[in-house]
Structure formats: structure tokens, C-alpha cells
Amino acid sequence: MRTALVLNPASGSVRDPQAVVDLLRESGASEVVRFACGEEAAAVASGADRLIVAGGDGTIGPSARAAADAGVPLGVLPAGTANDFARALGLPLDLAAAARVALAPTPATRPAEVCLTADDRPFVNAANAGLAVRAAREASGMKARLGPLAYMAGAARAGLRAPAIGVQVTLDGRPFFDGEAWQVSVSGTGRFGGGSAVGETDQDDGLLDVTIVPAVNRRSLVRRAYGLRRGTLGEQHDVPHERARRVRVHLDADDDHRGFNVDGELVVVATLEVHVHPRRVAVIVP
């Protein structure tokens, strides 16, 4: 089995790239050709039977798009801190177990949507504005000590300190929300922050899930946080939730906290436009 591997050596579990290559060979790959982040198109053009990506959530989006474009299955070795995409699809978090799944001779696959921003940035989980951005900033210095728990600690700090954001959201060109919000999520899987989830999303409907937490009072964030950890936020009656093909989120220009957390990567813009890639990626699952 000829395997193309896209590997992010900056991820915590793949500091030794050769160890990942050896793991794939031990799991059944007869040939492994390694590519760097940014070389996803070359990886799928190399004649490989499947594409495997090793890294955190932010590494997966470009590989997912490349695999979808080429029509090859995607295997995922979750090697980041949060690994929310793997959790969403029920993939093993242990690298050896994940390698066996990714290299199954007759793999089972599950379709997953690839989301694209207007500047062609692919992502698979969520683009968030508001508290999730502040929480990620708070968590960044605690990841080495706390691992995934850093996101919970960061979220707690953000909930106590961060202000609401002024935001306007349009869905397929029609107004959806205009006001102050604690958080706006534009979702693929809807998972983020090491186990938080906006709720059930359909990975095969060609639509984005949009969830808004209106800014009522800070005490209400306790119930919102509970919904995020339970994956039921979108079911709360006073949380606007809708699906659309194209989403535009504009943050007030004078807001010091503007910016978006896109699968763990901070994107500092005032306006984010998102649509769904026309082809789903076939992710190899247990």
C-alpha cells in the first residue's frame, strides 16, 4: 500500500517524524512518502492509495480539501492537543490504533464536509468569534502543563473577563442576527476547544451550522458552558441556530476583540465569509 503522509512536526505527538513513518510501515504501509504542510496537492498527486495527515485540528483542513478534490480517502493520526475532529468522527486518539484504522486494507469511510473561507482557508470543525477566541488565547500558555484541560481553563477565564462582541450575521444573503453576542460559531463538525460542541451537525447535507450565543448577562454563560460540554447548546431555546450554504460574519470595526478562531488558528479580520466545498472528504473510520 502506497501512502502519502502530510505531517506537522510542530504537533506535540509528532516531534519525531521518522517514528510516525515507522509506525505506518509497521501498520501495513509498504511505502510511505512524506510531505510537509502546504504540500497537500503534491501528496495526492503522488499516486498514493490514500492520504494520511498527522497533526492537530488546524493541520487537517488542507489535507481534507486535497483528498476531497482527488477523491482519495483520508486517514487521520490525531497528534494535537484538542483533536476535536477525531473525537467528532469517533477515531482512536492513540496514534498506533489510529494508524491501524487509517491503513485498513478495506477501509470504512464516513463523509465529512470541508468548509472554506473567502480567502481559501479550509477548515473542518468550526470558525468561532467572541469568547472562543479569548479562551484560545488564555489557553495557549497552559497547553504544555494541562493538555486538553487548558481549553477548559481558558474558557473559564474568558467567561469571567471577556466582553461581548458586536456582530452582524447574514445567511445566504439574508439578515440573521444583528446585535451583541458572547459567541458566534460557523461549524462543520461543530467541535472545538478540547471537547466542546455546539450540537448535532449533519456532515452530509452541504450546509454550514451557525450558532449564536446572544449577550444577555454573564450569569447565563454557566448554562451555555453546560450546553457546550454536553453538545446541546444549539438545542437551547434562546440560542439562534440555523443552516446555510454561505455565511457572512461581520464584527464591529471598533471592537478590540475582533478575530476568529478557525480550527485553533487565530485569523484577525473584521469580516469572515464561509461556504462549503462542493465535495465531501471520505474519512477512514473504525
**Residue 199 vs residue 90, higher pLDDT:** 90
Residue 196 CA to residue 216 CA, distance in Å, equals: 21
Beta bridge mates, 130: 183
Q: What pLDDT, in 10s, does the model give residues 131-162?
A: 877 766 655 666 556 565 555 655 666 555 67
Per 3-state DSSP, the chain is made up of helix, strand and coil in percentages (nearest 5) of 30, 35, 35
Mean pLDDT rounded to a whole number for the chain: 87
Residue 284 CA to residue 151 CA, distance in Å, equals: 27
In 15-54, which positions are buried (b, 16+ CB within 10 angstroms) versus exposed (e)?
eeeeebbebbeebebeebebbebebbeebbeeebebbbbb
C-alpha distances (whole Å) from 258 to each of 123, 155, 166 are 19, 17, 9
Treating both helix axes as pointing N-terminal to C-terminal, what angle do 95-102 and 17-26 enclose, rounded to 10 degrees?
50
Q: Would you give the distance in Å from CA 185 to the centre of its chain?
A: 11
The residue-averaged pLDDT of 58-69 equals 96
**Residue 142 vs residue 76, higher pLDDT:** 76
Q: Would you give the distance in Å from CA 266 to the centre of its chain?
A: 12
In contact, 74 and 103? CB cutoff 8 Å: no
pTM over 0.75: yes
Q: What is the pLDDT of residue 57?
A: 94
Residue 63: strand, helix, or coil: helix
CA-angle at 156, arms to 160 and 167, nearest 5°: 65
Beta bridge mates, 196: 192
Q: What pLDDT, in 10s, does the model give residues 206-239?
A: 999 999 999 987 777 778 877 877 788 888 888 9
Rounded to a whole number of angstroms, the distance between the first and last alpha carbons of the chain is: 18
| Closest CA relative to residue 211, chosen from 183, 231, 189 | 183
In contact, 212 and 184? CB cutoff 8 Å: yes
Q: Which residue has the cell 460540554?
A: 229
DSSP assignment of 165-221? EEEEEEETTEEEEEEEEEEEEEESS-EETTTEE-S---TTSS-EEEEEEE---GGGH
The residue-averaged pLDDT of 14-31 equals 87
Please give the helix or strand (H or E) that residue 55 lies within, else none.
strand 50-55
Q: What is the pLDDT of residue 45?
A: 94
Here the cell at position 169 is 450575521
| Closest CA relative to residue 186, chosen from 277, 275, 270, 90 | 275
